[in-house]
Amino acid sequence: MKTIKVTVWNEYRHERRSELIAGIYPQGIHGAIAGFLNAQPGIAAGTATLDEPEHGLTDQVLDETDVLIWWGHMAHGEVKDEIVDKVQRRVLNGMGLIVLHSGHFSKIFKRMMGTACSLKWREIGERNRLWVTAPGHPIVEGLGEYFEIPHTEMYGEFFDIPQPDELVFISWFQGGEVFRSGACFYRGRGKVFYFQPGHETFPIYHQKEVQRVIANAVRWAAPVSVVGFREMMQAPHHPEPLEKVEIEE
């Protein structure tokens, strides 16, 4: 089985400005996610961050990435449009994209969705119960009917995304709201998974169910090999029919 190459992208700002957050994620959120993914058979994860040249997403890195994971919050506006263009092109040509938590407002997620991607939020540390709504889906492999995150930020409907191609989780929050917290989209040859958990002040990426979902999502989002597909950004003229065509005058 071919190893799936993952790049975990993080803006990496909160961890450098807050001792509380740095205490939860001493290697950064990207380091924590790459760490548990690298413990999985068949997955090799590296990292990239906003302040590296080209945000760490050079042509070579993108070409070699099977699945890109995206965490951002306070610096969405600093991500260069030319990098977003390149990531979009790679997704349309087969690279998987997993967008976490506050990445709902990232340029790349809004680009892939074409909607505002807005939602409601509240930060009081309430409980969150994620219900599985697609028990046959590979992203829920190994889970029960639901799992809980003891303390989290609430994200509530209406979440302005297109109708998901597959809805994998619906969340309930202690304060009463619900949210489509795990949603799959097909774009060109690529796959996009949005997963809500991950507020930076709680140790959510250390929780085993959350790690399980992200690892499952990497396997689901990995490219499928196909032969002879066109570059998805191009619409080629195709003057020669596949079969002989006789047009009667």
Q: Which residues bind Zn ion (CB under 5 A)?
A: 102, 153, 199
Residue 22 token pair: 């740095």
Nearer to Zn ion, 14 or 191 (CB): 14
Nearer to Zn ion, 102 or 106 (CB): 102
Q: What's the CA gap between 28 and 8, in Å, rounded?
A: 11
Nearer to Zn ion, 66 or 200 (CB): 200
| CB within 8 Å of 248: residues ≥ 6 apart | none
| Cis before 169 (ω within 30) | no
Nearer to Zn ion, 75 or 92 (CB): 75
Nearer to Zn ion, 123 or 141 (CB): 123
**Minimum CB separation from Zn ion for residue 73, in Å?**
6
**Minimum CB separation from Zn ion for residue 103, in Å?**
10
**Minimum CB separation from Zn ion for residue 62, in Å?**
26
DSSP string of 28-62, one letter each residue: HHHHHHHHHHHTSTTEEEEEEETTSGGGG--HHHH
**Minimum CB separation from Zn ion for residue 53, in Å?**
27
**Minimum CB separation from Zn ion for residue 102, in Å?**
5
**Minimum CB separation from Zn ion for residue 121, in Å?**
7
Q: Are 192 and 172 in contact (CB under 8 A)?
A: no
Residue 61 token pair: 């890195």
Q: Are 207 and 223 in contact (CB under 8 A)?
A: no
Residue whose token pair is 């590979």: 138
3-state secondary structure 83-150: HHHHHHHHHHCCCEEEEEHHHHHCHHHHHHHCCCCCCEEEEEEEEEEEEECCCCCHHHCCCCCEEEEE
Nearer to Zn ion, 58 or 201 (CB): 201
Q: What's the CA gap between 242 and 230, in Å, rounded?
A: 16
Residue of this chain nearest to Zn ion (CB atom):
199
